[in-house]
Structure 1
């Protein structure tokens, strides 16, 4: 049997508090960075309601999407997207420093996790574009979802306003290369390119 002095108990409590505050700082930093990245996209709509998102997407083609704040308290963000069955909403979960799509309990462990919301969206956009290319060329009929479920595609963002030519150029350059530092460009321009290193 061991006895703890009041000092050692206090030390343990202090260490626990330090760890908890580091986690909070880490979460605040990650969410802050996620917000900064989202605001740079042009397709983050902020506090849009589900009905407003539905109106925006109503006449859009399948795969058109936007990201907005979630109206549910347990979630930070929601992807609103047009599917073959109409507009739908998919919540983004934040847990233990990572973002992932909310889903059925059985599928959750299989879903990829990401450091940022934009990285998550970028992944699913690339996946959707690959899927839709394969389907349009007739290469893969097995990609059709089973049991009459609706396939979610993210292919075309809805911008809050027309994006600047600089931003569109940055996306095109990031799409073409991940070696921005190797490009023969002024440092200021390299900084602009790396400030938003996504290709969506």
Structure 2
């Protein structure tokens, strides 16, 4: 005896073209469920490990300090002085703190798909460049000044504003007035991590040559230079 289900008419998947669309414009049903590309954790780990290795060698990576400590270190510095520190925001790894014409400020650094870029609320944000590591990002912004929005740059971890922050006037609502020109000019080294003479030597070589492999350098020195291929 046939079950009630076998008595129901079978219905083939509809291949009809929706009204107003030409044949071929609709993707086959199986294409709508295509699997997204797999996340590669190995690539992420290599990128993060390489980045922090470069930062540890730089001398201007200050590690886990607060926004108040970073701004205090930059308060008496000249415009364009900067350092990089761990971000106190749980969704970010790193923050760039810089002395601007308005005083010290901090800009979070985003990380996505093995690339680093500044976290900006500017309308030009989609056009911001991304970099494989933070030293490359810093080196790029040591060129001509570039405007970023100042509304979302501060870390949000401090529960009580400092006396200095309370005395500062609120940021203007006008997008043009709220922007700050980012000029990175001089790294601020932490006192216990001032670069060695060897590191300063390879910085000098990198600043004066884009192709150190063409210089008559001993192989060990050339390898040491390539381990930190930056000018800052």
TM bucket by the smaller chain?
0.7 to 0.9
Normalized per residue, which structure has more helix?
1
Q: Which residue of 2 aligns with 1:57?
A: 74
User: CA deviation digits over 1:5-53, x for unaligned, max 9?
Assistant: xxxxxxxxxx98x933xx1111111011000011110000010110100
Question: In the aligned structure 1, how far is the partner of 2:81 from the partner of 2:122?
Answer: 26
**Does 2:155 correspond to 1:125?**
no
What does 1:3-18 align with in structure 2 at a 5 Å threshold?
A: none
Q: Which residue of 1 aligns with 2:203?
A: 171
Q: Which runs of 5+ in 2 are unaligned?
A: 1-11, 14-34, 146-174
Match of 1:87 among 104, 108, 112: 104
Match of 2:213 among 176, 181, 184: 181
What does 1:145-164 align with in structure 2 at a 5 Å threshold?
A: 146-147=176-177, 149-161=179-191, 162-164=194-196
Q: Which runs of 5+ in 1 are unaligned?
A: 3-14, 129-144
Question: In the aligned structure 2, how far is the partner of 1:117 from the partner of 1:187?
Answer: 27
Moved over 6 A (4+): none
Worse-superposed segment, 166-175 or 145-154: 145-154
DSSP 3-state at the match of 2:143:
helix
Q: Which residue of 2 aligns with 1:109?
A: 126
Structure with higher Rg: it is 2
Worse-superposed segment, 155-164 or 35-44: 155-164
RMSD: 2.3
**Does 2:49 correspond to 1:19?**
no
Q: CA deviation at 1:84?
A: 1.0
Question: In the aligned structure 2, how far is the partner of 1:105 from the partner of 1:66?
Answer: 22
Residues matched between the structures, number: 170
**Retained in 1: the 8 A contact 2:143–2:183?**
no
TM-score (norm 2): 0.68
Question: In the aligned structure 2, how far is the partner of 1:148 from the partner of 1:92?
Answer: 19
Q: CA deviation at 1:146?
A: 4.7
Q: Which residue of 2 aligns with 1:39?
A: 56
TM-score (norm 1): 0.78
